[in-house]
Amino acid sequence: MDIVELKELISSIKERLQLALTISIFFPTFLAVYFEAVKASPEEIRHNVLNWSSLIVLYLLSYLIFDGWKSNQMRSNVLRGLNRLILGGIGLFVIPILELISIANSSTAPIWILWVNLVSFIVSLNALPIIAATVLVFSIIAVSWKSHK
């Protein structure tokens, strides 16, 4: 991988980290709306909002580490993996939004769609913090594991 491609990949990772951070900032608010829609208690809503705020910390740390210590000597395979991971993490935010839409339209949707959405929602909520933590680990690896050129 030449230096121009490497700089483009680093720029792409930085942009995706910014998007993931922005989405994660609004995600706890979105979940509060979701839990209100399913008639959760105020304590349960507060608890979930506080727990999901950890995504903000994970993506912010990833961004700060990656942006603060990036160089042109990072391994391209680690960077490609990081780029894909961030994209996957961004994609996982879509599923809970679809679940909220399906709740709003639950009177007209077939029951199997509601079940598929619910299972996807649960899987997505469990995968989001795992992906965010993995992005942080990959960011640390990317800035510390230099290419042998």
How many residues in the chain? 149
149 in a structural domain:
no
The list of the chain residues with pLDDT below 70 reads 1, 70-72, 104-106, 109, 146-149
Q: What is the pTM of this model?
A: 0.82
pLDDT at 33: 85
Nearest-angstrom CA–CA distance, 82 and 15: 12
Between the CA of residue 119 and those of 9, 113, 122, what are the distances in Å?
A: 34, 10, 5
Please count the structural domains in the chain: 1
Within a domain: 104: yes
Q: How many CA atoms lie within 13 A of 81 on its CB side?
A: 15
Residue-wise over 73-102: b if at least 16 C-beta within 10 A, else e?
Answer: ebbeebbeebbebbeebbebbebbeebbeb
| Domain carrying residue 105 | 3-144
- Residue pLDDT, tens place only, 74-90: 788 888 999 999 999 99
